[in-house]
Amino acid sequence: MSVADAPQAASNSPHIPVLLRPILDHCAPISGVWLDGTFGAGGYTRALLDAGADRVYGVDRDPMVFEMAQSWATAYGDRLQLIEGVFSKLDEYASDLDGVVLDLGVSSMQLDQADRGFSFIKDGPLDMRM
């Protein structure tokens, strides 16, 4: 599949990766092994796999994101490896990479849910240990 044919992130996703199209366009043709160091809702990971990546390591510190991914991740088989981990150990999770994606910044998935402990928009317990 060409990069132009790669699907955009689903509009019902809890997080829309705003730099998805520029990354796919700039890095075309997408192939080889990639690491998505901020897996989140999987928007970059899915797009990379759909655009032709041979394998993507999806890394995130938040265990809840992997629960959300169960509904779609199996469709990619062994091309997708999900890893609960942290930035300081990214080099331990995969080597010989062809590309790395990091969507740095605050995650709307944590801010939008008061019970996660990060929201300044909604009332909820404060717990910023992530």
What global pTM score does this model have? 0.78
pLDDT in tens, 5-62: 544 445 456 667 889 999 999 999 999 999 999 999 999 999 999 999 999 999 999 8
The whole-angstrom separation of Cα 55 and Cα 12 is 25
Q: Where are the domains of the chain?
A: 3-9+19-116
Going by the DSSP 8-state scheme, the letter that residue 90 receives in this structure is H
Place 127 in a pLDDT band, splitting at 50, 70 and 90: low
pLDDT in tens, 49-70: 999 999 999 999 988 899 999 9
- One of 3.90.1150.10, 3.40.1710.10, 3.40.50.150, 1.10.8.50 is the CATH number of 3-9+19-116, namely 3.40.50.150
What is the model's pLDDT at position 104? 85
28: left (phi over 0), alpha (psi -120 to 50) or beta: beta
Q: Is the pLDDT of residue 71 over 50?
A: yes
Residues 56, 80 contacting (CB under 8 angstroms): yes
Going by the DSSP 8-state scheme, the letter that residue 69 receives in this structure is H
pLDDT in tens, 90-102: 999 988 999 999 9
